[in-house]
Amino acid sequence: MPIAKIAPSMLSSDFANLASEADRMMQCGADWLHMDIMEWMGRHFVPNLTIGAPVIQSLRKHSKAYLDCHLMVTNPLDYVEPIGKAGASGFTFHVEASKDNWQELVQQIKSRGMKPGVALKPGTPVEEVYPLLDGENPVELVLVMTVEPGFGGQKFMPETMEKVRDLRKKYPSLDIEVDGGLGPLTIDAAASAGANCIVAGSSVFGAPEPAQVISLMRKSVEV
């Protein structure tokens, strides 16, 4: 299994103090910072509106951290250039929003020096991402949503672990990320299914000692 990456979700941070929140998380042992880019646009993709390229760009000026960007938008291709220029490290788009143009998306993401990833909602079958992994220009990460995308603080859906197990069996060295409801009570289910990239918002930011939660999750993945 590839090495553990613990990625606090900045959606649970104090956005008014984003730079210091990012530094605090890195000092607490985070590997990546997970940035949730959501676009409401008539409720097309998720019923929420969060941050965009200007915020990524501002944070990049203050931090060298790996910015793991999760695009919950209707038209991810429109975001590759601005998010890439802003300084994102990873660009993960949703398979549900890229049915017709994922080849072009992956190619453009890579040409901008970002790591391409594909995400799937809880109700989307895992088979839908296989073509993106088996072709000539594969994605390098699969994000299995463990809650319905849109908000932090929701309850982990254990039934999504079947997808993680199927992916790990088929792709032993793939980065498999889980996102939603992860924390000390759910990390073992995700780690034993084969997830190695762990996004956690409320469990980390809500803890009196975030470093302890990060270290506990890392140990669970690295067993």
By Cβ distance, which residue is nearest to ligand DX5? 201
Contact letters (x/-) for ligand DX5, 45-74, by CB under 6 A? Answer: -------------------------x----
Name the 3-class secondary structure at 71: strand
186 binds ligand DX5 (CB under 6 A): no
Residue 8 sits at φ, ψ, to 5 deg, of: -60, 135
Q: Which of 5, 6, 12, 197 binds ligand DX5 (CB under 6 A)?
A: 12
CB 8 to ligand DX5: min, Å: 9
87: left (phi over 0), alpha (psi -120 to 50) or beta: left
Binding site annotation covers 134?
A: no
Q: Which of 87, 117, 194, 201 binds ligand DX5 (CB under 6 A)?
A: 201
Q: Catalytic residue at 36?
A: yes
Q: In which element (H, E) is residue 134 found?
A: helix 130-134
Contact letters (x/-) for Zn ion, 16-45, by CB under 5 A? Answer: --------------------x---------
Contact indicator for 105, 117 with CB cutoff of 8 Å: no
5 binds Zn ion (CB under 5 A): no
Binding site annotation covers 29?
A: no
| Cα–Cα–Cα angle for 61, 84, 54, rounded to 5 degrees | 50
| Cα–Cα–Cα angle for 31, 95, 119, rounded to 5 degrees | 20
The type of residue at 191 is A
Separation of alpha carbons 96 and 103, rounded Å? 14
Closest CA to 53 of 76, 30, 31: 76
Q: Catalytic residue at 175?
A: no
Return the DSSP state at 73. -
Q: Return the range that interacts with ligand DX5 (CB under 6 A); candidates 86-94, 99-107, 142-150, 158-166.
A: 142-150
Rank residues 46 and 208 by Cβ distance to Zn ion and give the closer one.
Answer: 46
Separation of alpha carbons 55 and 186, rounded Å? 30
**Which residues are the active-site residues?**
36, 179
Binding-site residues from annotation for substrate: 9, 70, 150-153, 181, 201-202
Give the footprint of Zn ion on this chain (CB under 5 A).
36, 70, 179
Give the footprint of ligand DX5 on this chain (CB under 6 A).
9, 11-12, 34, 36, 70, 147, 149-154, 179-182, 199-203
